[in-house]
Amino acid sequence: MNEDFSVEMRLPKGCPNCGSHKVTVSQAQQLDDIVFCSSCNTEICDYQAAKQMLDEMPRSENEQLIEDVVNNRKPSSTEE
């Protein structure tokens, strides 16, 4: 029984609660599955929105900074 099996992803947008970029989604990855923060289990968005974020992920640090400004957030310092 692997019903609770989940996969970890990394989103460009950090958790609104703890700032972590690591999220967990069910292995089934249905579009309406909820994506949770891996650190604090905050509900981030649904999988469809997460996929969209990944599609739009900035390819350079400059774009990352621009997105951080758009999101009204300081550049993340939690990079690993």
Distance CA 29, CA 26 (A): 6
Question: With respect to Zn ion, which residue has the nearer C-beta, 20 or 53?
Answer: 20
| Kind and range of the H or E run holding 36 | strand 34-37
| Window of 8-16, 25-33, 47-55, 66-74 that interacts with Zn ion by CB under 5 A | 8-16
Distance CA 57, CA 55 (A): 6
Question: With respect to Zn ion, which residue has the nearer C-beta, 22 or 51?
Answer: 22
Give, as ranges, the residues between 44 and 63 that touch Zn ion (CB under 5 A): none
Quote the least distance from Cβ 6 to Zn ion, whole Å: 15
